Amino acid sequence: MNSSPQHAVAFRLLDEAGILKSNYAPPMVRLLWKMGINVPPPHFMSFVGSALLTGITFGTLWGLFMLLFAVMTGSVNLSVLLAASLSAGVLFGVTMAIYFAYGRKRYKLPNWESLSQTER
| pTM metric for this prediction | 0.86
d(CA 37, CA 108): 26
Query: What residues contact 109, with CB distance under 8 A and at least 6 apart?
Result: 13, 14, 17, 43, 44, 103
Report the pLDDT value the prediction gives residue 75, as an integer from 0 to 100: 82
Report the pLDDT value the prediction gives residue 71, as an integer from 0 to 100: 83
**Per-residue confidence of the chain (120 residues) as pLDDT tens digits?**
666 888 999 999 999 999 999 999 999 999 999 999 989 999 999 999 999 999 999 999 999 999 998 888 888 788 999 999 999 999 999 999 999 999 999 999 999 988 876 544
d(CA 14, CA 109): 8
Tally of domains in the chain? 1
Q: What is the Rg, in whole angstroms, of the alpha carbon atoms belonging to the chain?
A: 17
Report the pLDDT value the prediction gives residue 115, as an integer from 0 to 100: 85
Report the pLDDT value the prediction gives residue 117, as an integer from 0 to 100: 65
* Contact predicate 10/111, CB 8 Å: no
Domain range for 18 is 5-116
CA distances, 105 to each of 12, 60, 100, 119 (Å) = 17, 29, 9, 21
Query: What residues contact 86, with CB distance under 8 A and at least 6 apart?
Result: 59
Alpha helices (H) along 38-106 = 47-73, 78-106
* Contact predicate 112/45, CB 8 Å: yes
